[in-house]
A = this chain, B = another copy of it.
Amino acid sequence: MHVIVDIAIIPIGIGLSLSRYVAACEQVFTEADLEPTLHANGTNIEGEWDQVMAALKRCHEVLHSMGAPRVATNMRLGTRTDRTQTMEEKLEAVRSKST
């Protein structure tokens, strides 16, 4: 089952600057071949369900090991069975409707 995911991760208890932790997750996703696309409020990844979820778990583990006592993640997940659709195709669908 292919899944398209948007992940926003907030490490809690490590002060104000979160960027070092977000970058660490980016690296986890890259190493998992999920080709992360960073945006201003999260990171988009896509892939096989189990592969994506294993990377997400690893991300929480890495952030804890970096010293974050709490990690709060907000995710959007989308699966569909009517047809295959990549993130790029989702974007193109909206752009083609824009005036």
Contact = CB atoms under 8 A, between A and B. Distances in A.
Interface residues of A, number: 58
Interface string A55-95: 00100110010000111111111111110000110110111
Interface of A: 1, 4-6, 8, 10, 12-13, 15-20, 22-23, 26-27, 37-42, 44, 46, 49-50, 53, 57, 60-61, 64, 69-82, 87-88, 90-91, 93-99
A88 B80 CA distance: 30
Given A13-B15, A13-B16, A42 B96 contact: no
SS class, residues of chain A in contact with chain B: mixed
Contacts of A79: 60, 64, 70-71
